[in-house]
Amino acid sequence: MKIECTSDYVKLNEKSYPCTVSLTMDLVGGKWKAVILYHLKDEAKRYSELRKEMPSVTEMTLSLQLKQLEKDGLVSREVYGKKPPIKVIYKLTDFGQSFVPVLEAITEWGNKAVSEKGEFVQAKI
């Protein structure tokens, strides 16, 4: 029997899930969480750098998703300075880094899907 099927449910951070797939999707699912992790996979970034790399995400959504990723232990937030302007750096934790191979597989699959069935489009300025 597969390990993910050996119990009635799984638990992480005091939260219960019916299976490990459900747990994973809660941690990294949705429209923006995996994208944020992708942009942090190679280096730490400031909030403004993430906004520039993800122009279609709203400030509120980015802020909420970063807070959730931090709460779930995938991203760390380091604050430098005591009063504005404060420098805040986001980076992957070791737990977040463990997801990088999955991100790379998702990216590769997405690139293949677009190459075979879609197209890469440049935004018109």
29-86: per-residue pLDDT in tens?
999 999 999 999 999 999 999 999 999 999 999 999 999 999 999 999 999 888 877 8
What is the spatial distance between Cα 1 and Cα 90, in angstroms, rounded to a whole number? 39
Q: Is 1's pLDDT higher than 70?
A: no
Which of the pair, 98 or 18, is modelled with greater confidence? 98
> What is the domain partition of the chain in residue ranges?
1-30, 32-110
What's the rounded mean pLDDT across residues 95-103? 97
39 sits in which H/E element? helix 33-40
Report, at the CATH architecture level, how domain 32-110 is classified.
Answer: Orthogonal Bundle (1.10)
Q: What is the pLDDT of residue 105?
A: 97
